[in-house]
Amino acid sequence: MAKITHKAKAPKPAARMPVKRAVKPKPPLKASRPKPWTPAEVHEAFSRFRKANPKPKGELEHLNPYTLLVAVVLSAQATDAGVNKATRALFAVADTPRKMLELGEERLRDYIKTIGLYRNKAKNVIALSEKLLAEFGGEVPRTRAEIESLPGAGRKTANVVLNMAYGEHTMAVDTHVFRVGNRTGLAPGKTPLEVELGLQKAIPSEFMLHAHHWLILHGRYTCLARGPRCDVCLINDLCRWPEKTV
């Protein structure tokens, strides 16, 4: 008998998997920028600050421009209250550059050891005191560039000293002012310098002498980083912050 052969069945082609087309992600929605404050609104806000506190004062205790400079240098990454606690005794014995040099770095450290970064700050205070005597006749200079040339002194330090000691219309931007400028929409900026320049542009000259104190105090006691007290805020109806509680 003839041998019967069976043809092998051709394998079925593998089912094609559906090709998924890459879904192009949608561009993120741009956060809507708050409406800028009008000049009338800025004037109203600072009129309210002035009415509530006509002559605000900085909370760093000092006796003269030199002790103010030292206090501000010591206040970096420290509270004003903590600095005051240390400098009351320090300034009683060293309120001039020469007296500070006579005190010496080691003894200075003993006075300020409760302040953060006290070792480095003691070095800066001694170095800036030496420079004041060598280059400025022992006096705190009156220009930003000269103050910024002193060890431990940056732009914020210069602005505080120029404003508080010499009555210049400067804007010192610390963490409180930076927060208030951005949160309220008064002068938004990614850096302290951007906020500083924005505030200087927005705030009328009649308020500039005390403006940075009003903003610091507002940020320290009302517009808190956590749990802002919108219910007692003087400018809550003007503020652009979308999360305010009133």
Identified catalytic residue from 9, 55, 131, 174: 174
The dihedral through the CA atoms of 215, 217, 223, 224 has a sign that is: positive
Cβ pair 238, 46 in contact under 8 A: no
Q: Quick one: tokens of 2?
A: 């003839």
57 is catalytic: no
The dihedral through the CA atoms of 120, 123, 129, 135 has a sign that is: negative
Residue 133 CB neighbours (<10 A): 16
Rounded Cα–Cα distance for residues 76 and 227 (Å):
24
Q: Quick one: tokens of 245?
A: 């509680």
Name which of 24, 22, 26, 37 is nearest 185 in CA terms. 37
Name which of 152, 171, 150 is nearest 160 in CA terms. 171
110 is catalytic: no
Q: Tell me, rounded to whole angstroms, the distance of Cα 171 from its chain centroid.
A: 11
Identified catalytic residue from 24, 121, 123, 156: 156
Residues annotated catalytic, as ranges = 156, 174
